[in-house]
Amino acid sequence: MRRDIRLHDNHALYKALNAELPVLILFIFDTDILDELPDDDARLNIIHQELKKLNRKLKRHNSAVLVRHGKPDDVFDAILNEFDVNAVYFNEDYEPYAVQRDQTVKRRLGKQNVQCYSFTDQVVASPDSILKDDGTAYRVFTPYMKAWRKHFKLQDIPDYPSEKYLENLAKSDAAFPDLESMGYTTQPVKLPDHNWTEKTVQQYEDTRDIPAENGTSRLSVHLRFGFVSIRRIYRKSWNLSDVFVNELIWREFYMMILYHFPDVVDKAFKPAYDNIRWRNNEAEFKRWCSGETGFPIVDAGMRQLNETGYMHNRLRMITASFLVKDLLIDWRWGEAYFAKKLLDYDLAANNGGWQWAAGSGCDAAPYFRIFNPYSQQKKFDPDMAYIRRWVPEIDSADYPEPMLDHKAARIRALDVYKEGLG
């Protein structure tokens, strides 16, 4: 298991449980990833908690999740010495590191005559399944979405009821390690509840941009780690809201882009945008990070992120536009800050969103589209209910003056972009 920490509708688990041999579930705390994170990372705590819940369910079937800590190569070497392994089943991951890791592990297992079977699970459309007529990847969302919807109808989205075959699990009483034994720190953080209901999806088009309302599904963390099945989300939402389903397709579009164009991790999708001369003022960046810019809607979004590990999607666009356009700070700085703070951090979506805001991405907002923080506030938080929740000192002398003049900053951004783009 990697990004599929669940027993229900799990594609690889379903196929494994319906093969000939007993199945042992493995999870690796991958040090190649975790060594880059702080020892008390909130996401690490959430993964550990959810694995612990999963392990309790496995105990009812006299089984357990085998938890290992280390480099995947080394872990599999040890497992091959410990168990008689016939095959390894796993669900695909499309991030550049994951693709490379999986290829390396497959080669190593192949030398030991261990079969490897991989499956599509975190998306409905694997990155190679929806391509243009000439076999190349789409670069614009709308034609991709239309091709996706032409390819997949409701009846085409399968179900893999792995939960029905748990009697085929291998017997195991493997101990479940705590985080401290692996060198990490337990934090009092828990998985945020989602708000995915029929009513939320039906009203999504009308409520999704109002941050003061509970108008979004809050599924992002659950989808990021596979605590829920994306296929079941599609099926139950299909006839309730086209807008909501299209947002799920956006998620798949960005994963496809990352898979086919891995250079977007640290380069602009549109190369000309790497010529922008960013100001990259560190003091101004610090004010943006801490929510002390003097622009209430921007500060509210940043404070929500810092306090909860979540930010409403409309605010992600507003805060990103402010950083790259008003402050002329490299989108990579903002992307890295979000990557550090977001519980739902997903490389494909985070990169796609930031490059969209900067104008440098596939199907991005044009560079001359610069969000006005005041008009965004007036349109999406007119009563300041959201702002007052996160910026309680808004009406007092303690709240800072705006750190810049937005109109002047807009003109400056247009000039810098025009110069950089030639």
Catalytic residue flag (residue 331): yes
Q: Quote the CA–CA distance of 347 and 386 in Å, as a whole number.
A: 27
Catalytic residue among 163, 278, 292, 372: 278
Catalytic residue among 148, 196, 238, 250: 250
Q: Quote the CA–CA distance of 306 and 303 in Å, as a whole number.
A: 5
Catalytic residue flag (residue 148): no
Catalytic residue flag (residue 250): yes
Mention every residue, 6+ apart, whose C-beta is less than 8 A from residue 357. Answer: 317, 320, 321, 324, 325, 331, 364, 365
Catalytic residue among 205, 213, 247, 292: 247
Catalytic residue among 148, 354, 356, 390: 354
Instruction: Give one DSSP letter per residue of 91-116, joined into a string.
Output: E---SHHHHHHHHHHHHHHHHTT-EE
Catalytic residue flag (residue 238): no
Question: What is the rounded end-to-end Cα distance, in angstroms, of the chain?
Answer: 47
Q: Quote the CA–CA distance of 41 and 398 in Å, as a whole number.
A: 32
Structure tokens at 201: 């999806």
Catalytic residue flag (residue 196): no
Instruction: Give one DSSP letter per residue of 56-102, joined into a string.
Output: HHHHTTT---EEEEE-HHHHHHHHHHHS---EEEEE---SHHHHHHH
Beta strand pairing call for 66-70 and 26-30:
parallel
Q: Quote the CA–CA distance of 351 and 299 in Å, as a whole number.
A: 22
- 89 sits in the region (left: phi over 0; alpha: psi -120 to 50; else beta) called beta
Q: Which of the residues are catalytic? A: 247, 250, 278, 313, 331, 354
